[in-house]
Structure 1
């Protein structure tokens, strides 16, 4: 679930869950990096681990509800930084919110951090306020000609963490020389007013526990009822802890926040780099504010018109195809844990999944490794070809009954360290997606038909990808989403980047988005992995020239 930005709302783990993606540039844990670095020292320089977008890993579901007290809306995920808020409160007009003067303070070794206000509800500007967290990497030239805003995807991924930890990966050197680079946490995420649901123990139970569906036949009426109950309980916890913010974390609200941030930094037009789900934010921005489009790059593009069912199908096929690509490469090596033909190698992976389904493994900390956790561990390295060697270690360990590698990969995916969750990305992912996709009544027969189709198009992993509709079936906040096409009529040229072997945001989505946008320019990277700017020097040059010189490539370049 990477981007949706994801496919079905949610994150892999509990019954009926779908995963969110990882952010470009996020590095793998040291113990996991070591496994792959030993095989290829270049991997330490390619920090392109898992990206955030909408992946599809099994189907998660949540139910949140809105209401509740306002305490906490002005506090960040890490406890709040009230001293960084502007001295003067916005007076309840669009102009007053855009006229805020951020109190930038030093942070992250040479960067600057701040927080600003945004209206809880953009239709009630004089109502309650929330806060947004930002980080700025000042232009290295000392003379910024503007700002480039960056979003790494998700939904639920932290733009603050992404820029603070990996700005050199996120944005090219030439762009960093000429522009201030700003990452922000969208509403509901991390350093901004966050969605909160469960404590670490509760998240462990929700994501890794066998839950109410244990022992029931997947897809049966009893299984669906149990999955709905489990997800409603999760949603109730989110409602209780998050309050009214839960109804206002949709992408439409984030788009208006982004235009406010553009005004705050003083740019007449928006310069923006969005990855995965971040491309959805950028596309919706261009459609709503076409006259304010400066230089926009949308890498790992989403198709704004895709339905939840279409996303699940596309991502299931995408990850199955990426897994076949890994197997094809693996079988060329002597140390490959698989053998025979590519079909036989895929069958061996399927047999491991079946074995875990019948007899879950158990880690040293007592957590079980069910098929949902195992599948999360498989999908995590598939976001980048540079991480494929981690799959060797995963399959060897699971084949010997060792759960530790699977749990470490899943922990990385969920931002879990030493038993605690370092971000609220999973909760935010669910809350945002459940507002961004139209909701419909549960249709058991329809879900069963789709589940059968997933097995047909993805024989190895498709069996474990169905029933994502339970994710938001009981969501208390009704979605107002409209999955309409975008045109951005009159906007300046917008670069849409697609990778032919992208498992999380299929290349066809980039083609579709570029066609929808009146000024869309498709840039193709023939390669594997999720997003291209950090992987292809050819794509990097096109993007850098566009930001720095304003050069729009002719035709539809292929790298």
Structure 2
């Protein structure tokens, strides 16, 4: 079992090494700098300095990098500026334009996504015909970013154990205080930016980037949360849409409770799919039926909730961290073997492997530092994008509903409104359908076994969008493009490169 545990750590290092290696300079990249050519379109006078800016691209490894400026507050462009970090891989062939890419989150770094793993993000046809551009949205990573806690404080916030009984008045009071303190720290460290990291503001940034890159229309590939960003853009600027692909769609109308129900039901369905595959194999820590194995997972969660396990670094593994450790490998079937390894170790009373998986999800490095601000950005954006209610009676009713729909994870997933109900910036979100009337055709991709963005959300978004069309992938895992399905890859690339809209859902 020790050797198997090492394999997870070795694999995470190997993946990072592969993504960062091989940075030879392609023939289409010369030395020196390169200047962008904005579209020169007419905008409001207060926006003209932003839309007319000329980007100065510099070499960074095998790509080009730059920084753009955007209004801090789009409703008051004179109030200040923020920075947006971009990285670009120039088209290797006859260029169609720019393709902006967002990996999801909210809080995911599009800059790192393209800088480190462009081949995972975009296939050879897209790299040939487009300048593939990654960017960090406002609040994220290398752009003007949300900041809250240092590493030790983040450890306590993410992994700390609340001693009171879950759902009790004392427990609610303790969790409320912890989240209020976190929000206060975010406000203190981030300043005015914290009130301006909502998705509508990020979508307005997207239009700014389109214009200063020199594109009359936006070509865009968005994954997961990136689908909401792309749909929001289409709703704001339908006449400026080019070819948009939204993979792993979010339903813009879903409330927080509806999101929780759909996601945790999805993760339980994926867990059962993993258990079925595990039980059919040779090295499975479970035995018997899928139902029996699911019951054992429930017992493991209840056990560590009552008596957290101590890890070798002194941290304790409670139910919340164990849920994170289980969910992380469920994003991809290729990661299921690590889930078996983790379950086996927890059954033997060991916490290190589970905490390693939770750390990978949370962006925590082996030395205890955090590699990015994705946790802070995720919270800050979501707190502005949804509305919340921390009335104890309602939260208890919602928690009971969630536990009924998702009996394994649900008991540990309730009371999520506490975090954002205590946020120092009030939400003014309107979770309504996005039609984007007048937009060019928009591709919406849904995976039938996607736990994080359930298939019904893709169906809903494709139906809401006036020009939306659905591409279904019958499979497991989160998102579909570049996941070894030739049908999906071909359909996406035919659309982005040639503008080909399938006559009907290809049902890949």
Q: What is the deviation of 1:93?
A: 2.5
8 Å Cα contact 2:248-2:447 kept in structure 1? yes
Does residue 1:32 correspond to 2:8, yes or no?
yes
Asked if structure 2 preserves the Cα contact closer than 8 Å seen for 1:98 and 1:264, the reply is yes
For residue 240 of structure 2, the aligned residue among 283, 292, 295 is: 292
What residue is the counterpart of 1:93 in the other structure?
46
Question: Compared with structure 1, are the counterparts of its residues 490 and 45 closer, same or farther at alpha carbon in structure 2 (3 Å cutoff)?
Answer: farther
Alignment of 1:158-237 (within 5 A): 158-210=109-161, 213-214=162-163, 216-237=164-185
Q: Would the aligned equivalents of 1:227 and 1:470 in 2 still touch at CA under 8 Å? A: yes
Are 1:551 and 2:488 matched, yes or no? no
For 2:386, the equivalent position in structure 1 comes to 437
How does 1:483-498 map onto structure 2 within 5 Å? 483-498=431-446
Q: 1:33 to 1:492 in 2, by over 3 A?
A: farther
Unaligned runs of 5+ residues in structure 1 are 1-28, 48-82
2:256 aligns with one of 305, 308, 311: 308
Deviates further, 256-265 or 453-462? 453-462
Give the corresponding residue for 1:250: 198
**Is the CA contact (8 Å cut-off) linking 2:261 and 2:406 kept in structure 1?**
no
Task: Describe the SS at the equivalent of 1:420.
Answer: coil
Matched, 1:449 2:397: yes
Matched, 1:138 2:90: yes
Contact in 2 for aligned 1:150/1:273 (Cα 8 Å) = yes
When normalised by structure 2's length, the TM-score is 0.92
> 1:523 — aligned with what?
471
SS at match of 1:153: coil
What is the match of residue 319 of structure 2?
Answer: 371
- Seen in structure 2, the aligned counterparts of structure 1 residues 547 and 192 have a Cα distance that, compared at 3 Å, is same
Output the CA distance in 1 between the equivalents of 2:52 and 2:237: 18
> Paired residues, what number?
484
SS at match of 1:227: helix
Partner residue in 1 for 2:68: 116
SS at match of 2:200: helix
Deviations 1:136-162 (A, max 9, x none): 011122x42200000000000100011
Distance in 1, matches of 2:45 and 2:310, equals 54
Match in the other structure for 1:422 = 371
**Aligned partners of 1:322 and 1:46: how far apart in 2?**
28
**Alpha-carbon distance between aligned partners in 2 of 1:145 and 1:321, rounded to the nearest angstrom:** 41
Asked if the contact 1:279–1:301 (Cα under 8 Å) also holds between the matched residues in 2, the reply is: yes
Cα shift at 1:451: 1.4
Kindly report which structure 2 residues correspond to 1:388-399, keeping only aligned pairs within 5 A, or say none: 388-399=336-347
d(CA) in 1 for partners of 2:409 and 2:84? Answer: 38
Within 5 A, what are the aligned runs for 1:393-408? 393-408=341-356
Query: Deviations for 1:510-532, whole angstroms, at most 9, x for unmatched residues?
Result: 00000000110100000000000
Structure 1 stretch 546-555 or stretch 267-276: which is displaced more?
546-555
2:25 aligns to what?
Answer: none
Give the 3 Å change call, closer, same or farther, for CA 495–230 of structure 1 in structure 2.
same
- Quick check: 1:361 aligned with 2:309? yes
Alignment partner of 2:466: what SS? coil
Change (3 A) 1:46 1:388: farther
Secondary structure of 2:82's counterpart equals strand
User: In 2, distance between residues paired with 1:453 and 1:127?
Assistant: 44
Judging changes above 3 Å, is the alpha-carbon distance between structure 1 residues 94 and 112 closer, same or farther for their aligned structure 2 residues?
Answer: same
Distance in 1, matches of 2:7 and 2:363, equals: 15
Partner of 2:30: none
What does residue 105 of structure 2 align with? Answer: 154
d(CA) in 2 for partners of 1:139, 1:244: 37
**Distance of aligned partners of 1:269 and 1:112 in 2 relative to their CA distance in 1, 3 Å threshold:** same
Give the structure 1 partner of residue 426 of structure 2. Answer: 478
> Aligned partners of 1:233 and 1:462: how far apart in 2?
25
Matched residue of 1:455: which SS? helix
- 1:549 Cα offset (Å): 0.9
* Structure 2: stretches of 5+ with no match in the other structure: 20-32, 37-42
Contact 1:85 1:114 in 2 (8 A): no
**CA–CA distance in structure 2, aligned partners of residues 335 and 317 of structure 1:** 26
> Alpha-carbon deviations, 1:63-116, whole Å to 9, x = none?
xxxxxxxxxxxxxxxxxxxx9999xxx997223212211111111x21011001
**Contact 1:140-1:176 at 8 Å conserved across structures:** yes
* C-alpha distance in structure 2 between counterparts of 1:111 and 1:37, whole Å: 23
Contact 1:35–1:389 (CA under 8 A) maintained in structure 2: no
Give the match's secondary structure for 2:77.
coil
Structure-1-length-normalised TM-score: 0.83
Secondary structure at the aligned position of 1:523 is classed as strand
Give the whole-Å Cα distance in 2 for the aligned partners of 1:131 and 1:267: 20
1:104 to 46, 57, 62: 57
**In the alignment, what sits opposite 2:218?**
270
Identify the structure with bigger relative contact order (alpha carbons < 8 Å, sequence gap 6+). Answer: 1
